[in-house]
Amino acid sequence: MNALRLGLELRLGENDTGLDFCGTWRHGGGSLSLTINIFPGCNGMSISANRSSLSIDGQVTAQCRRSDVIHLTEQFGMDSLEESDFCLYWEPLLDQLKLQIRGIILTLCWPASLQGSCCTDLSHGPNSPEAPYGIINGMVKNDIITHNILAAYTFNGTPTDCKALCDQAIQRAGRVHMLEGAAMGHQAVEHPCAQSAEVEMNEDFQGYNLTSTVTRGVPAESTITVQIPPALKRAATKTSKVVVTFFKNNSLFQEGLDKARVLDDVVGVSVDNEVIRDLAQPIRIGFHHDVIPETHSKSCVSWDPRKDPLKVTWAVDGCETRQQGPNYTECLCNHLTYFSILVQLEPRPVCHLLVLTAITYLGCAVSAISCVSLIVFLCNKRRRSKGPSLLIHMGLAAALVFLNVLFFFTGVLANVGGAGVCVWVAAALHYALLSAFTWMGIEGFHTFWLVYMVFSLSPKPYVWSVLGFVLPAGPVVILVAVGDIYGVREVLPCEDISNPYLMCWLKDTHKAWLAHYFTNMTVLFILVTSGIVMLFLVHREIRTRDEWRRHRVAFLSIWGLSCLFGTTWGLTFLDFGPLSKFMLFFSCILNSFQGFFMMLRFYLLDWMRQQAGGPASASASTGSAQQHMLQPQEKSCTDFK
């Protein structure tokens, strides 16, 4: 029979180290917010509430500092019920503070390493006056304090030597079985309040399941399950014991992580004096954790201290990640070491990156070929008709050719050319993007001019060329002179954050992000808003004309003008909420194939002119119905759209 021996629990001696406070927040029906003001010290904590805000204030932490306002209604979609149940959990040994409200768990203070002094034994202080809005049925560990509605609850703490508490508990419970030996290298992780279990693998060992709950107050959200397969017995030739240790996340495990974070729980699995790899049956480790947004990727990772005992290096090698929901992840690993879940915080990983990349490459190739074909078509047409409209169409088509060709090869150039080449490729790609945006803006302005201006006066052709090709070079030259803006950019896929996609673009630095917002996002915002306004004005003008009754013409006109004016790029701003995946794919398809849609629109309109007016109309489009529909009534613009 398998023998299981627990080494230590987190309830240490007679000290009631943490706090479990629950209650019901009675509030109004408006917008709700959470106010946090937490600082190091041990002067106590106050939990207060009014009609619209729940506040947590005090000095109870060892390291954590946080002053923040979280808009619960906006960020989590909390409806306007009159009451909200909540619980506050304080773990002084981990310097961790969590709030659970309406089933949503918010980590207010992340776990940290054990400090010499921490604030424990939080005792209930004097009650505050009753109020119409506040906290009702306040309780500590299921013990009701009062059923009345109070505006605030206060708790006073006691400074305690937490390391001494752990040492006393270890002396009483026996030495915690730590991960050590050849399997873990020369240096084992020492956590004074870890929880350990030892399993005896006898001759008829058929596997064993371990479960550990090491977080106070929210068992369902912190349970870790470990399934030891029978294959481990066959692989372990020198021993019949396997040690499983459950660690709470501390600063040691976060070492070297900049834009990622290891979850609260870390699990170590080892056997004495053996290195176990390539198990026929994987070890299954199930992590119940707080809800993690889809925008943050989750990956099962392991750390082998033998590679560098003095440095924590998490890797995805040897582990398979199976996401079973927003708050549960299962890891299947074929070796023994430390295991956890790595959450990528920034930059935001891209889900379905392989599919999106394939769509983008196909769209760029098709658009580039389509725009070249469109330029040839417009050049032939320009021989019969001289006017600014054709020149503007050709300018936009040329800018899109340059943009699509560069983007098609940016991944190859990033891997082959290296950082030196990537700087100039990224600058050229940025210029191409700004140039395309500028030409889209020119298209919108010129269309508005032709529809609303009585006289057909228009700027000289070279003015449009200067605006479309020369003006966008200004900010790019400035950014090149500033330096450290362009270079190799890593795009992380949700599926495997250890295998990023490389491209030449703005770097992931503070200066580069500022440049992105002040150039790309600002220009895009102006382009989309002005494009929508001009599209509305043009539609309002032409919808009263006789030709508008022809539905094909109406559709092609509005659809084509939307592409020309760049309004489809506005979908970039809608990549959030429940429709974020759909918008991401929809935006990718529309914008990647924009050149193809432009060519298709011009060809269809030209074909419809020929069908409506015959050969004469094909050679001179002045009399076409579609032509007049998009012109002011007072004049004729023979080559417009």
The 3-class SS string of 581-629 reads HHHHHHHHHHHHCHHHHHHHHHHHHHHHHHHHHHHHHHHCHHHCHHHHH
- Residue 183's pLDDT is 34
Extract the tokens encoding 614: 């015959």
Alpha carbons 489 and 509: distance in angstroms, whole number: 10
Place of tokens 């047409």: 381
Contacts of 533 (CB under 8 A, 6+ apart): none
Tell me the Cα Rg of the chain: 32
- Answer yes or no: do 336 and 436 share one domain: no
Question: Does any domain span residue 641?
Answer: no
Q: How many domains does the chain have?
A: 3
- Residue 169's pLDDT is 52
Q: Distances from the Cα of 495 to the Cαs of 275, 294, 296, 325, in angstroms?
A: 28, 11, 11, 15
Handedness of CA 428, 431, 437, 443 (dihedral sign): negative
Question: Does any domain span residue 4?
Answer: no
Place of tokens 């379905």: 352
Which of 165, 200, 231 finishes a domain?
A: 165
Neighbours of 34 (CB within 10 A): 22
Domain CATH number, residue 214 = 2.60.220.50
Cβ(444)–Cβ(411) below 8 Å: no
The continuous run of DSSP H or E covering 247 comes out as: strand 241-248
- Answer yes or no: do 318 and 371 share one domain: no
Q: How many residues does the chain have?
A: 641
Picking from 636, 516, 629, 524, the residue whose alpha carbon sits closest to that of residue 571 is 524
Question: Does any domain span residue 67?
Answer: yes
Neighbours of 576 (CB within 10 A): 9
- Residue 628's pLDDT is 39
- Residue 362's pLDDT is 94
Alpha carbons 593 and 574: distance in angstroms, whole number: 19
- Answer yes or no: do 321 and 360 share one domain: no
> Dihedral angle at the C-alpha atoms of 533, 539, 541, 543, nearest 10 degrees?
-160
pTM: 0.53
What's at 366, amino acid-wise?
V
| Structural domain for 310, as ranges | 179-344
- Residue 349's pLDDT is 67
Alpha carbons 609 and 273: distance in angstroms, whole number: 84
Question: Does any domain span residue 640?
Answer: no
> Treating both helix axes as pointing N-terminal to C-terminal, what angle do 580-592 and 594-619 enclose, rounded to 10 degrees?
40
Question: Does any domain span residue 598?
Answer: yes
Give rounded-to-5 percent helix, strand, coil for the chain.
40, 30, 35
Phi, psi values for residue 191, rounded to 5°: -120, 120
- Answer yes or no: do 515 and 384 share one domain: yes
Cβ(92)–Cβ(17) below 8 Å: yes
- Residue 600's pLDDT is 83
User: HSE of 393 in the Cβ direction (CA atoms, 13 Å)?
Assistant: 26
Picking from 603, 43, 61, the residue whose alpha carbon sits closest to that of residue 370 is 603
- Answer yes or no: do 437 and 582 share one domain: yes
Strand pairing class (53-61; 33-40): parallel
- Answer yes or no: do 362 and 331 share one domain: no
Which of 325, 344, 363 finishes a domain?
A: 344
Q: Return the SS3 of 53.
A: strand
Contacts of 397 (CB under 8 A, 6+ apart): 371, 372, 374, 375, 378, 595, 598
Q: DSSP secondary-structure letter at 350?
A: B
> Dihedral angle at the C-alpha atoms of 271, 272, 273, 275, nearest 10 degrees?
10
Which of 111, 137, 165 finishes a domain?
A: 165
Phi, psi values for residue 58, rounded to 5°: 150, 180
Q: Return the SS3 of 479.
A: helix
- Answer yes or no: do 52 and 132 share one domain: yes
- Answer yes or no: do 430 and 551 share one domain: yes
Question: Does any domain span residue 9?
Answer: no
- Answer yes or no: do 212 and 129 share one domain: no
**Residues of the chain under the 50 pLDDT cut:** 1-15, 170-190, 192, 214-220, 310, 454-455, 614-641
Alpha carbons 411 and 422: distance in angstroms, whole number: 10
Domain CATH number, residue 552 = 1.20.1070.10
- Answer yes or no: do 161 and 28 share one domain: yes
Question: Does any domain span residue 636?
Answer: no
- Answer yes or no: do 215 and 108 share one domain: no
Question: Does any domain span residue 293?
Answer: yes
- Answer yes or no: do 258 and 396 share one domain: no
Alpha carbons 640 and 390: distance in angstroms, whole number: 7
Q: DSSP secondary-structure letter at 493?
A: B
Provide the strand spans (E) within 249-388.
260-262, 265-271, 283-288, 298-303, 314-315, 319-325, 328-333, 338-344
Burial class (CB in 10 A: 0-12, 13-18, 19+), 289: buried
The continuous run of DSSP H or E covering 83 comes out as: strand 83-91
The region that residue 272 occupies, defined by phi over 0 for left and psi between -120 and 50 for alpha, beta otherwise, is beta
